[in-house]
Amino acid sequence: MYWAHKASTLCFPGQQVLLDAVAMSDAASHDSTSLIPHVNRLFALHPDFRGVVKRVLDDGAADDQQLKDTLQTDFGIELLAPINPRARQPIRDDLPRGMDHITPRARRLPSRLPVDFVGCRHDTNRFLFRAPEDTQGVPVCQACPLRPSATAARTATSDHGALRAVAVDRSEVPSTFQRFALAMAQRTAIERLHKLMKYDYGDERLTKRGNDAFQARLDKTLLAMHLILAHD
C-alpha cells in the first residue's frame, strides 16, 4: 500500500525551474481550485512577476469560464486550457444545411463525418470549415449537392458567437486555432519538471506521512534546485 499526495506547482515553460510548490490539503480536491490561490501566493513571494506574467497554461481541469474571467480581471492573465468535453454540450440548433452538430471540441459533423477548421474571417466574425479529403486527396463530400463546384470541397461558416458556447469562449487564442496548439505544446515542461522533482530530487520517497512532511519535502526541493542554479 502507498499513500499519495497532491501538489500545485508553477514554472516558466522555457526554463523548467520550480518557482513554487504547495501541498494541497485534500488530494481529492479538484485541480482547478489551487490555481487562483497559488497565483496570489506567487505574486506575494515575487511581486516583480506581477505584470510580467501574461498567460497561464493549465490542463483540462481548468477549462472553466469563471476561472478564466477571474484570472483576467484580477491579474490581467489569460488562461489557456484544453477543452474538457465532459463540461460542454454539443450544439445542434441553427446550423447550416447538412450539418448534424458541433462537437464539444468545436468540430462540425456533416453526415457524421468531421470537417476541418481552416480559419476565420475577421471582418465578418465567422469561422470557416471545409470537408476533409480521403486518402486519394479527393473531398469526401462527392455526393453532397451543396458543393460549390465539381472539384471543390463543401465549405461552411459559423458565427463566432455560436462556437463561443462550445470552444472559443472569450480567449484571444481560441482552442480551435493552431496558435492554441503551439502555445499548449509548451505545457509539457511541467511534466519534465515533475520528473525532475520526483526522481532526481527524491520527492517520490517520503518517510513521513502527512501534508506538513510533504510540504517540507517540496520546500527542500525548491531550495536545492535554486542553490544548484546559483552555484552554476
Assign residue 38 the CATH number of its domain. 3.30.420
**70 and 112 housed in the same domain:** no
**161 and 97 housed in the same domain:** yes
CA separation for the pair 223, 192 (Å, rounded): 18
- Chain segment 46-99, per-residue pLDDT in tens: 999 998 999 999 988 888 888 988 999 999 999 988 876 565 666 666 666 656
Query: Which range marks the domain in which residue 135 is found?
Result: 91-168
**190 and 78 housed in the same domain:** yes
Res 109 pLDDT > 80? no
pLDDT classification of 172: cutoffs 50, 70, 90: very low
**203 and 138 housed in the same domain:** no
* Overall average pLDDT of the 2-15 stretch: 86
Q: Which three cell numbers stand for residue 103?
A: 462537437
**12 and 63 housed in the same domain:** yes
210 occurs within a structural domain: yes
Work out the percent of the chain whose per-residue pLDDT is above 70. Answer: 69
1 occurs within a structural domain: no
**39 and 69 housed in the same domain:** yes
173 occurs within a structural domain: no
**What angle is formed at CA 88 by the lines to CA 87 and CA 94, rounded to 5 degrees?**
170
**95 and 153 housed in the same domain:** yes
Residue matched to cell numbers 471540441: 105
Per-residue model confidence (pLDDT) at position 167: 43
**12 and 33 housed in the same domain:** yes
* Overall average pLDDT of the 155-176 stretch: 53
Per-residue model confidence (pLDDT) at position 175: 58
Res 192 pLDDT > 90? yes
Per-chain mean pLDDT for the chain: 78
**21 and 58 housed in the same domain:** yes
Per-residue model confidence (pLDDT) at position 32: 78
Number of domains making up the chain: 2
Task: Report the predicted TM-score, pTM, of the whole model to 2 decimal places.
Answer: 0.64
Res 221 pLDDT > 90? yes
**17 and 48 housed in the same domain:** yes
175 occurs within a structural domain: no
73 occurs within a structural domain: yes
**154 and 95 housed in the same domain:** yes
Per-residue model confidence (pLDDT) at position 85: 57
